[in-house]
Amino acid sequence: MNWYGLYTLFGKEVWRFMKVGTQTILAPVVTVLLYLLVFASVLEEHIEIYEGISYTTFLIPGLMMMSIIQNAFANSSSSLFQSKMTGSITFMLLPPLSSWEFYLAFIAAAVLRGLLVGLGVWIATLWFVVLPIYSFSALLVFSVLGSALLGTLGLIASLWADKWDHISAFQNFIILPLTFLSGVFYRIDTLPDFWQKTSYYNPFFYMIDGFRYGFLGVSEIDMSISLVIVSVFLVTVSASCLWLLHIGYKIRY
């Protein structure tokens, strides 16, 4: 393992998104606050998802996890694709870095950005409600697994894409629908039967549900099942990503 090279590439990725922190950290927090202001103010008095738990309390963990995974995707996809377009990826391919080390550096940076955004959302929403923490380990595990999964999908999207429109299409037609249909704003069992069954095939649902359990101690699916499904999906997607990196798909000509 080339630890020095891995750390250098990781540091470069962290420096890249921290240099524009207003855009990469602050802007997502403001977006979540806008969601919260609209949904919480309109639905707070009309909906009770779980007995004794307000709608705002239910909503915040979902919005937090949504921000974590979306920004993890954005970090890895934009960084690698930008490097492809500018040609600077050559300088990352020349050093003796294996596909595994290349992958770990990008995913670690994506996870860090996702966690920083999640932390920022949590701090900002303290003004609305102070969330209880039922299981810190569940919060940590699902936030790391979720951001790693979306970071990996971001790498795959950037490897596949030939122009910025392809990245936008991947995000708008795959990531966003899966996110919004994952139970961020509602419980799955309140949906019509067809959409309820369809939601169980959405891996994002298990990430949201597991993360929300970490705060509230309630979930729609048994925690062990959610953990297994998210882990299996992460391993499968990571294996595909590592294979693409190994063969140099669209980055080695």
Range of the domain at 47: 3-247
Tell me the per-residue pLDDT of 233-250, one tens digit each, with 9 for 90 and over: 999 999 999 999 999 998
The backbone region for 248, taken as left when phi is positive above 0, alpha when psi lies in -120 to 50, beta otherwise, is left
Q: What percent of the chain has pLDDT over 90?
A: 70
In a domain, 86, yes or no: yes
Total structural domains within the chain:
1
Helix (H, G, I), strand (E, B) or coil at 71: helix
In a domain, 91, yes or no: yes
In a domain, 252, yes or no: no
In a domain, 156, yes or no: yes
Tell me the per-residue pLDDT of 51-75, one tens digit each, with 9 for 90 and over: 788 888 899 999 999 999 999 999 9
Length reported for the chain: 253
In a domain, 242, yes or no: yes
In a domain, 7, yes or no: yes
Helices of type H across 126-253: 136-160, 164-170, 176-180, 193-199, 203-216, 223-247
Tell me the per-residue pLDDT of 111-154, one tens digit each, with 9 for 90 and over: 999 999 999 999 999 888 889 899 999 999 999 999 999 999 99
Query: Looking at residue 45, what is its pLDDT?
Result: 67
Confidence of residue 189 (pLDDT cuts 50, 70, 90): confident
The 3-class secondary structure across 3-40, one letter per residue, is HHHHHHHHHHHHHHHHHCHHHHHHHHHHHHHHHHHHHH
